[in-house]
Amino acid sequence: MKKRLSACWVVLWLHYQWVAGKTQVEQSPQSLVVRQGENCVLQCNYSVTPDNHLRWFKQDTGKGLVSLTVLVDQKDKTSNGRYSATLDKDAKHSTLHITATLLDDTATYICVVG
């Protein structure tokens, strides 16, 4: 019996939020392809004021938003299974870490500041 090897790829698409022609929330990289099982990091920089909280969402194609985390404090960290996030309000920066990616992680990831 022959075994077939196939590579599984996770594609993470990121969203840019534009307000009045100015970028208020910018995510990077714009798109990312990683092998299944690898870790990845998504970045979010913002200039929105006030910045009372920051949320990371996941949106599967054709489905609604799923909240992954809410960050509130000045130097906040959260963890939810394979997803973890950090917030630095002084730098107006957040990261979303996905550990051991799966095919189910293929989605649009959105950083929202409010």
1 domain-assigned: no
105 domain-assigned: yes
Secondary structure of 71-100 as H, E, C letters: ECCCEEEEEECCEEEEEECCCCEEEEEECC
This prediction's pTM: 0.79
17 domain-assigned: no
The CA distances from residue 93 to 5, 28, 49, 62, in Å, are 39, 11, 13, 29
Tell whether the torsion through CA atoms of 57, 106, 32 and 13 is positive or negative.
negative
At 79, which CATH number? 2.60.40.10
Q: How many domains does the structure of the chain reveal?
A: 1
Residue-averaged pLDDT of the chain: 84
Residue 114 banded pLDDT, cuts 50, 70, 90: confident
Task: Provide the domain limits for residue 44.
Answer: 23-113
